[in-house]
Amino acid sequence: MKSILITVGKNLKENQEFIEYIKRESYAKFGIIDSLIFLEDNDKDLFIEISEAYQKYNNILIAANSSAYPIVSKIVATIFDDTLIAKDNILIPSKSKKFEKNSFLIGEERKINVIKVEELKKLPPIFLENRVEYAVLNIFNIDLNEIEKKLSNLANTYEINLTYTEVTKKWIKVYAKNSKFGDLAMFVQNAKLLMPNNLAVAENIFEYLIERLSATKKHITFAESCTGGLLASMLTKFPGSSNVFKGSLVTYANEIKSAWLGVKINTLKEYGAVSEETVREMLKGALKVSESDYALAISGIAGPGGATPTKPVGTVVIGAKSKHKEIVETLHFSGDRNYIQFQASMYAIKLLFDIAQEELF
């Protein structure tokens, strides 16, 4: 079952944060979006684009702005050989299966859900649902070839379709989709048996962490430099984070690393901010000031400037520390500034799984 999100309205195309909001709500209702198309209000190919999407996709969500909503509703009615009727002061196709203000759903095997959206306002209800079962496997510290060897026969046995993607170094995310006669539960159970200390089943790793750390009454804190608070931002997007998260110190400047985290001036002078020595002291200071069970620390060169002959752009030192264990590693990431920051943040989460295996696997 394939899904597509179509936005209609020039203002929507230019507002990426609003689009991300629509995507999050869509994912929560019907799972992975296979395609995303941006169309403008006056696009002469609007009818063709929507008609072609109806031929290719099972779930079609059309988010239209106020000016585009009437014409989109008319196009959808035409596709279903239907007419528009007035309901709740809006026009919707008479064959609509579900409707509420500013939202209607039409179709059987192939469904179209049209919603009227406005920036700065809550989205109307999304009626689409995905009948395909799927699970997301997060696998750490096993390379892709080895994972494929471990899972391919298992996937064939239980008729599961797999898609692999790399989140960051040493972290592979596997999307396991059930087939008509598949057994997803047995596949996941056996995959976990194959990799008990490497595999976490979680659609969202941050929600998973909140749940696991809450259950064990553990707390975590961060000390961030080149990621500028990104790691803290990603965690606190989700409810319940206050149960496990003590806080984050964004120590961008060297003097703040020293004043807030207790990093020694001599350490910074001798080894530099981007060094394992500095990150070890950042971890120690973060644990001390927060009295948490775990600390993660990141310091690096996200670019495009700041590189040295020995520390090119993408050099990031990342550490994780508990009261009994510590790991600090120097990594080299590729990409632009934002992508390097993302990879570094996610690698810090990977290290958390390394030092907290008993709690997290």
Q: Per-residue pLDDT tens for 161-205? A: 999 999 999 999 999 999 989 999 999 999 999 999 999 999 999
CATH placement of domain 134-203: 3.30.70.260
pLDDT over 90 (residue 88): no
* 102-151 confidence digits (pLDDT tens): 999 999 999 999 999 999 999 999 999 877 789 999 999 999 999 999 99
Tokens of 40: 């403008």
Q: Which CATH number fits domain 3-116: 3.90.1640.30, 3.40.50.970, 1.20.140.10, 3.40.980.10?
A: 3.40.980.10
d(CA 245, CA 196): 26
> How far apart are alpha carbons 15 and 4 in whole angstroms?
19
| pLDDT tens-place string over residues 228-283 | 999 999 999 999 999 999 999 999 999 999 999 999 999 999 999 999 999 999 99
pLDDT band at 223 (very low <50, low <70, confident <90, very high): very high
pTM over 0.95: no
Contacts with 225 (C-beta within 8 Å, 6 or more apart), sequence order: 250, 251, 252, 257, 273, 282, 298, 299, 300
Q: Write the pLDDT tens digit of every residue in 329-345.
A: 999 999 999 999 999 99
**Beta carbons of 298 and 348 less than 8 angstroms apart:** yes
State yes or no: pLDDT of 100 exceeds 90: yes
User: Which has the closest alpha carbon to 344: 180, 92, 173, 168?
Assistant: 168
Could you tell me where the beta strands, DSSP code E, fall in the chain? 3-8, 35-39, 59-64, 84-87, 90-93, 98-100, 103-107, 111-116, 134-140, 160-168, 171-178, 199-201, 220-224, 245-250, 294-300, 315-322, 326-332
pLDDT at site 42: 87
Tell which CATH classification among 3.90.950.20, 1.10.3720.10, 1.20.59.10, 3.40.50.300 matches the domain 206-360. 3.90.950.20
CA nearest to 183, candidates 160, 203, 164:
160
Report how far residue 123's alpha carbon sits from residue 22's, in angstroms, rounded to the nearest whole number: 8
